[in-house]
A and B are shown apart, each in its own frame.
Chain A
Amino acid sequence: KQEVTQIPAALSVPEGENLVLNCSFTDSAIYNLQWFRQDPGKGLTSLLLIQSSQREQTSGRLNASLDKSSGRSTLYIAASQPGDSATYLCAVSLSNSGNEKLTFGTGTRLTIIP
């Protein structure tokens, strides 16, 4: 059974700092990994999607890496801003065989201090 863990559960950093969020998964046979952010009481906003054949993806100040063999992904946020405060979730999918579902991590609640 795939298990996805995110450490730390909560993180507070001063505005302007660079930071890294971690995601680990137990079954390395993933098809892809997706990072989301969730604002309080809201739905999920997709940030980055990394296919299993890729090592990283970048979007603006965000960079996500994937190391399938070690079962790890990181989300790097450069020059953090108060608007980055949210819960960040990673999710993996195991198959594209028509049996798709996402297995989510427990999330990291990020607070950027102005």
Chain B
Amino acid sequence: KAGVTQTPRYLIKTRGQQVTLSCSPISGHRSVSWYQQTPGQGLQFLFEYFSETQRNKGNFPGRFSGRQFSNSRSEMNVSTLELGDSALYLCASSPSGRVDYGYTFGSGTRLTVV
């Protein structure tokens, strides 16, 4: 059974550019969540999608956005990149969005902004 797949694994971007990250959840999972991990702030919740709808959003600026497709794959977009956006971005999938199933995380995308 394939796990959560995130692409690309590594990205280097320049300040001011935009970037799109992709996450394919476990087959059959309909909920996808995104988290940002930095040494200073730890793991912070970005947003959660279920059946193509954003259900929950963390405390991040509007430059961070996402979407989910009908096959449950999700993309996260960051516009006008800043140096502080350098982080490991993790996505997690869950069968139905109910937290009693727990979450399965991908290996992450390491974004470096220069």
Contacts and interface: CB of A to CB of B under 8 A. Distances in A.
Interface size class of B (residues with CB under 8 A): 20 to 34
A55 B44 CA distance: 27
B63 interface: no
A13 B83 CA distance: 37
A43 B104 CA distance: 10
Contacts, number: 70
B107 A101 contact: no
A53 to B, nearest CB: 10
B107 A100 contact: no
Interface stretch (B14-22, B64-72, B74-82, B92-100): B92-100
Interface stretch (A16-24, A34-42, A68-76): A34-42
B56 interface: yes
Given A41-B110, A100-B97, A101-B33, A46 B103 contact: yes
Contact of B100 (A31, A45, A46, A98): A31
Interface in A68-114: 89, 91, 93, 95-96, 98-107
19 contacts: A31-B99, A32-B99, A32-B102, A41-B88, A43-B4, A43-B106, A44-B90, A46-B104, A91-B43, A93-B99, A96-B99, A96-B100, A98-B56, A100-B33, A100-B99, A102-B33, A102-B92, A104-B35, A107-B42
